[in-house]
Structure 1
């Protein structure tokens, strides 16, 4: 497998099935500074985020934590959430999920336990964050998807998931206060989200 600095790399040339891909992902030796996810029948390896992305992720967690649904936790730990029905497995930048979904020895967590996901785009992941992940999270019923477009410096919140995608969305430039809908019902202050 070849790993490139700013472009995702797909391993394998022949689709073997979702369960086999999960096993291969578990056995994959991912180089330091990279992460692996399953998208469209392939293992995709992409670089980890820039330094200031960590500060943005912390700001999101700190602001949403007081508004979590009962029994949910929010984190930015590198966990893999699986969506077997659509054969995807993602490691969201920030997520809120039922705490019970984390009480397992497995590293394959139930994507249906998610109540919130935030993805911060990079040059290598932007397309998938704007398309495949939007569709997958909506079909899985994730109530709120926050897309932080780091290249365009704008935040988009999507809610009301359905089989056809998210039915509601709102986009605001960084620096504004973005309403985060139920089950959070709060304002997310995006001041401090811009690149230094």
Structure 2
């Protein structure tokens, strides 16, 4: 852990992993910036957005899989634990990795779809973005259901993404390399609450 995170951590990574392994199935736990977080259970529109994205990725990049609800080691020194709504990686990329939490090396993109809860601002827009950048994941796609936009974070450097253009639902978006997928986002307008 970084010194500032270690000084303020609620528990050790090992203690968190033990707790997460024994949590009830309905509870998803994350450990971000040394703090225990409860990930909300996705609603039906959240799941529909994930399936929309899964179809687009599989059609354009059949050599890759979009892994829903992927547990990843993130942040500096892999001291955090996040459950990405999706992680794009080569087929069978995570096969053979030990334990619940996978190393993010080789992951091309992570995706978060915001939930309608009070912690979304800090969790999805700040903490997870920083954790994914610190882990060196090339692309972070944030599908923001509060303002109906997609933000494409890319080019991680020194623990932050240097590029982060946003697009409204309906735009055609070409995700940067190494992803190289063009998203036709008109369908997302059907999922506005």
**In 1, Cα distance between the equivalents of 2:73 and 2:151?**
23
- Among candidates 143, 147, 154, match of residue 159 of structure 1: 154
- CA separation of 1:101 and 1:87: change in aligned 2, threshold 3 A: same
- Among candidates 139, 142, 167, match of residue 144 of structure 1: 139
- The 5 A counterparts of 1:1-196 are 15-30=10-25, 32=26, 34-68=27-61, 72-76=64-68, 78-83=69-74, 85-98=77-90, 99-104=92-97, 106-122=99-115, 123=117, 124-193=119-188, 194-195=191-192
Answer yes or no: is the 8 Å Cα contact 1:143–1:159 preserved in 2.
yes
- CA separation of 1:152 and 1:48: change in aligned 2, threshold 3 A: same
Give RMSD over aligned pairs. Answer: 2.2
Aligned length: 180
Aligned-pair CA distance for 1:89: 0.8
Where does structure 2 lack aligned partners over 5 or more consecutive residues? Answer: 1-7
Answer yes or no: is the 8 Å Cα contact 1:180–1:187 preserved in 2.
yes
TM-score (norm 1): 0.81
TM-score (norm 2): 0.82
Secondary structure in 1 matching 2:105: helix
Moved more, 35-44 or 78-87: 78-87
**In 1, Cα distance between the equivalents of 2:59 and 2:96?**
22
After superposition, give the CA deviation of every residue in 1:90-130 in whole Å (9 maximum; x if it has no partner): 11111112433233452121122321111011223232111
After superposition, give the CA deviation of every residue in 1:145-196 in whole Å (9 maximum; x if it has no partner): 1001111101001111112411112111111111211112231111222325
